[in-house]
Amino acid sequence: MGALQSLHGRPEYLDLAEKTGFSFEQIRVLHERFKQLSHNEETLRRSHFNEIPDLACNPIRAQIIEAFFDRRNYHQNGEGTVEEIGFEEFLVVMSHFRPPSLHMTEEQRENVRREKLRFVFNMHDTDNDGTITLEEYRHVVEELLSRSGALEKETAKSIADAAMLEVASISMGHMEPDEFYEGITFEHFLKLLDGFEIESRMNIRFLNMDTSTLCK
């Protein structure tokens, strides 16, 4: 059917559409949202994210926000963090949550899945060393469980330890008594979540706009 949507004078969307796979309509909508969040400035900062009330109730908001500023998610093999992002980076991070299109080969599907899992992995591996250590894991558990005192520190710690043990047993098989488990590497992570239906858990469906993906 061809490209039947007029661009309304926005040629830069063409670039972004190719890079991220969003349709023009979706990019336009997300651009509106970007402008709304950044109060019409060119770049977004962490403080802008902190103003969203819905997000403030989310226990792992810190990691989610960090994910936007993490260079590893920009598909450019970068490292480290930035202080502010433009619309392009915003869109690239959002594209991790794009629903998979209907016509995809098995290999493409596998790539998409890997990408999404990489995103989540990066979110938890805060010191960027390629593994999720026990410390980082404990941190995640503490964030997710209440810090207000409904759960004691000991309980949270023990839950984290138990979960870590489970991971170790799945990935390493049998361990010697004095062997120390370094941390979850990305490969272990993949193995852990093998068979897990991530496609349905980690995507955002846009209303009224999916029809455009059908006309390819």
Partner 1 sequence: MSCEKNRTSISLPEPRQGDAVDLSVHRGTLLTSRSTGGAVGRTSVNFVPQVGLPCGPLPPFPLLRVVLQEVPRTWTEVSQGSKGVEREREMEDFWTGALWALKIWLYLIVCLIMFPAMFGFSLGISETYMTILFKTLEWATVKIQKANTEERTLNASTSNSLIQRGGGSMEKEFEELRLTRPKPPVGGDFTLSDSFYFTRRGIESIIEDEVTQRFTSEELVSWNLLTRTNNDFQYISLRLTLVYGLGIFVRYCILAPLRITLACIGLSWLVIGTSTVGLLPNSRIKSWLSEWVHVMCYRICARGLSATIHYHNRENKPQKGGICVANHTSPIDIVILCNDGCYAMVGQIHGGLMGVIQRAMVRSCPHVWFERAEMKDRHLVTNRLKDHVNDKRKLPILIFPEGTCVNNTSVMMFKKGSFEIGATIYPVAIKYDPKFGDAFWNSSKYSMVSYLLRMMTSWALVCNVWYLPAMYQQAGEDAVQFANRVKSAIAHQGGLVDLQWDGGLKRAKVKEAFKEQQQKKYSSMVVGDDSSSSNSD
- Segment 40 to 69, residues that bind partner 1, using CB under 8 A: 49-61, 63-64
Rule CB under 8 A: say whether 163 interacts with partner 1: yes
Tokens describing residue 96: 């991790």
- Which tokens hold the place of 184? 């979850």
Among 22-30, 74-82, 100-108, 174-182, the segment contacting partner 1 (CB under 8 A): 22-30
Name which of 35, 34, 26, 17 is nearest 208 in CA terms.
Answer: 26
Binding of partner 1 by 30 (CB under 8 A): yes
For residues 192 and 174, what is the distance between their CA atoms, to the nearest angstrom? 15
Strand partners, 185: 131
Whether residue 69 contacts residue 46, with contact meaning beta carbons closer than 8 Å, is answered with: yes
Q: How far apart are CA 201 and CA 190, in angstroms?
A: 16
Nearer to partner 1 (CB atom), residue 105 or residue 166: 166
For residues 102 and 182, what is the distance between their CA atoms, to the nearest angstrom? 39
CB of 117 to partner 1, least distance (A): 10
**Nearer Cβ to partner 1, position 74 or 105?**
74
Our finding on whether 25 is near partner 1 (CB under 8 A) is: yes
Closest contact distance (angstroms) between CB of 133 and partner 1 is: 13
Task: Identify which of 81, 100, 83 has the alpha carbon closest to the alpha carbon of residue 21.
Answer: 100
By CB under 8 A, the count of residues binding partner 1 is 72
Q: Is the dihedral of CA 97, 101, 102, 108 positive or negative?
A: negative
Q: If we measure between CA atoms, which residue out of 145, 170, 169, 166 comes closest to residue 155?
A: 145
Single-letter amino acid, residue 168: A
One of 5, 101, 108, 128 touching partner 1 (CB under 8 A): 5
Span 98-157, contacts to partner 1 by CB under 8 A: 120, 123-124, 132, 137, 140-141, 144-148, 150-151, 154-155, 157
User: Pattern 67-106, binding to partner 1, x per CB under 8 A?
Assistant: ---------------------------x--x---------
Among 73-81, 102-110, 174-182, 186-194, which window interacts with partner 1 (CB under 8 A)?
186-194
CB of 216 to partner 1, least distance (A): 14
Tell me which of 16, 85, 168, 202 binds partner 1, using CB under 8 A: 202
3-state secondary structure at position 185: strand
175 binds partner 1 (CB under 8 A): no
